[in-house]
C-alpha cells in the first residue's frame, strides 16, 4: 500500500472506531489526546494496526509514536 492509501484507510478506521470527526486526525495531531486513549484503548489501537496491516507495534517502539504522522511512518516501514 502507498502512504496515501494507508493514511486514508487508517484515518477512516480510527474515526469510526473511536467515534471522532475524521477531520480531527491530522498528521501533526497528538494521537493520545485526539483519540482520548487510555491504557485499554491503546491496546485497541495496537490491535487495529496489527489486524489491518499485520504490523505489530512493540512496547519499545510505542513511546516513539506520538503523532499520526509517526504512526503512518511506522506502518509504512513495517508492513509486509
Partner 1 sequence: MHDVLIIGSGLGGLECGALLAKHGLKVLVLEGSNQPGGCMQSFRRGGLHYDTGLHYVGGLAPGQTMHRAFAQLGLMDLPWQRMDEDFDHVIIGGHRFVFHQGYETFAEGLAKDFPHQREALQSYIRRLQNITAADMDVCAYDYLQETFSDELLLNVVSAAAMKTELRRESLPLFNFAHTCSSYIESSWRLVGDGNLLVNRLTDIIEEAGGEVLTYSKVIRLTEQDGRVISATCANGQVYEAEYFISDIHPAVLCELLEECPSVRKTFRRRMQAAENTCGMFTAQLRIKPGALRYFAHNAFVYDKPNVWTMAEENEPVKGVMISGRVPEDGSENVRQIDLLTPMPWHECKEWIDTKVGRRGDDYKAFCQRKTEQCVALAEQYIPGLHDMVEQCYTSTPLTYRDYLGSPEGGAFGMRKDCRMSMLSFHSVSTPLPNLLLTGQSIILPGIEGVTMTAFETCGKIIK
Which residues lie near partner 1 (CB under 8 A)? 17-18, 39-41, 43-48, 50-51, 56, 59
Cβ distance to partner 1 smaller for residue 25 or 45: 45
Cβ distance to partner 1 smaller for residue 45 or 75: 45
* Min separation Cβ 32 and partner 1, Å: 15
* Min separation Cβ 68 and partner 1, Å: 17
- The residue written with cell numbers 475524521 in the block is 22
* Min separation Cβ 75 and partner 1, Å: 16
* DSSP-derived secondary structure letter, 75: H
Amino acid at each position: 500500500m502507498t502512504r496515501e492509501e494507508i493514511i486514508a484507510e487508517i484515518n477512516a478506521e480510527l474515526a469510526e472506531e473511536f467515534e471522532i470527526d475524521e477531520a480531527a486526525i491530522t498528521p501533526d495531531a497528538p494521537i493520545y489526546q485526539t483519540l482520548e486513549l487510555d491504557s485499554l484503548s491503546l491496546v485497541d489501537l495496537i490491535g487495529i494496526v496489527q489486524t489491518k496491516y499485520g504490523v505489530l507495534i512493540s512496547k519499545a517502539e510505542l513511546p516513539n509514536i506520538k503523532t499520526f504522522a509517526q504512526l503512518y511512518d511506522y506502518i509504512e516501514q513495517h508492513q509486509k
